[in-house]
Amino acid sequence: MFQSQWEEANLISEHILENFTENNKQFADHLILSKSTYYTKPLQAVFIQKKISNVTYDGRKFMEAAHIKDVISALRVANNYYDEIGQLNP
C-alpha cells in the first residue's frame, strides 16, 4: 500500500516513463482504470508535471460502453473465478 495518493501517482508515472524510454511504448499504450475521477486528480497533476500526455474519460456512458463492460467482467472473474454472474454478464 501507498502512504498517499501522490506516492501512488509518482510510481505510476515512473512506470509509464520507463516503458516510454526503455521499452519503446507510447503513452497511449497505457490504461488506468479508476472508480472515480476524484481519485485521478493527483495522477493528472503528476502527469502534467512530468509532461505525460493523457486523456481522461469519465461518466456513466463510459462505464456503459460494451468494451469497458467486457474488461470489468474479465477483471471480476480474475478476482473471483467462482463469480458466475460476472462470467455471464456481457
Residue-level pLDDT, tens digit, the chain, 90 residues: 889 999 999 999 999 999 999 998 999 999 888 877 888 899 999 999 999 999 887 767 777 778 888 888 888 878 887 766 655 555
Other C-beta atoms lying within 10 Å of the C-beta of residue 81 = 10
Q: What are the structural domain ranges in the chain?
A: 1-56, 59-90
Tell me, what's the pLDDT at 87?
A: 57
User: Quick one: pLDDT at residue 50?
Assistant: 95
Picking from 3, 4, 10, the residue whose alpha carbon sits closest to that of residue 50 is: 10
Taking alpha carbons only, the member of 74, 68, 30, 35 closest to residue 52 is 30
Whole-number Å distance between alpha carbons of 49 and 9? 11
